[in-house]
Amino acid sequence: MCASNKDGPELNSANHNMSKATRRASQAVRIKARCAGNGASLAKRRNAEPGRLWGSLRASRWAAIRSVVVSTKPLMFALTLLLVSCGSSSNPVVGKGDAFPMVKLHDLSGNIVYSRELFKGKVIVFNIWATWCPPCRKEMPDLLRLSQILPKERFMVVALSVDKNLDDVKTFVHEHGLTFPVFWDEGGASIATPKLGVFKYPETLVMNREGRVVTKVIGAYPWAREDTVKALKHIAKYGDIPKE
């Protein structure tokens, strides 16, 4: 006997549903496996990543350190200069070969002297200093000695104080028995800074007999030393510093 035809559609429907469920389960298994594989791969990459990241950090950190070291070199050089002088960086308004500008110098009594008239025909050792500056105070005896050694008709030592208090300058000059010309530029505001570009002290400009700067010395210097005296005499004769 054959089966009735009315049960056929229901059976076919059940088989169809079972097939769909099977396909969905199989697909779920494949997705799960793929996700598991991806997860393992991702974990593997994550485990490897710290090494690459640390290497990158080390490289970037080393680059940063190198940049700091390089950038601090000029600072260290500047600090070295400041060990032998007082003040901040210098702006070279007047340099070697330049003519010394004509300026009005005020002596400690308030009288005005014109630099061009005072310096004419002489080698000038022009020292910018301050009483509060230890290197300035240290080299003053040498400058005094130099002024006594050199012939006055051909040489002159001149000091320009940048102190803010005139009485401090007068007291220092009296106590140390300075006999060469000393002038006052209050705070360096009229001559030292705007005319000469001097911001650190002591700074000394040496001019030849034509009034041109032949050298500039920043910091304390042994001015009365024999070789220094010889060099100044060479300037008087030839107009420039010795080449050797």
- Domain spans of the chain, in order of start: 9-81, 87-238
Partners of residue 200 on adjacent β-strands = 87
Question: With bands split at pLDDT 50, 70 and 90, how would you rate the model's confidence at 87?
Answer: low
Across residues 68-74, what is the average pLDDT?
Answer: 36
The C-alpha atoms of residue 182 and residue 176 are separated, in whole angstroms, by: 12
Does pLDDT of 205 surpass 90?
yes
Q: Please provide the average confidence, as pLDDT, over all residues in the chain.
A: 76
Q: Measuring CA to CA, which residue among 213, 215, 239, 232 is closest to residue 101?
A: 213
Instruction: Look at 9-13, 54-58, 134-138, 156-160 and tell me which has the smallest mean pLDDT.
Output: 54-58
Each residue of 114-133: pLDDT tens digit?
Answer: 999 999 999 999 999 999 99
Cα-Cα-Cα-Cα dihedral sign, residues 89, 91, 97, 98? negative
Q: What does residue 128 show for φ and ψ, rounded to 5 degrees?
A: -100, 125
Once rounded to an integer, what is the mean pLDDT over residues 64-90?
40
87-238 fold: Glutaredoxin (3.40.30)
How far apart CA 220 and CA 242 sit, in angstroms, is 21
Integer angstrom CA distances of residue 9 from 3, 22, 39, 86, 154? 12, 20, 44, 108, 133
**Alpha-carbon torsion angle 209, 214, 217, 223, nearest 10:** -40
The reply to whether the predicted model has a pTM over 0.85 is no
Binning pLDDT at 50, 70 and 90, where does residue 239 land? very high
Strands 203-207 and 213-218 come out as antiparallel
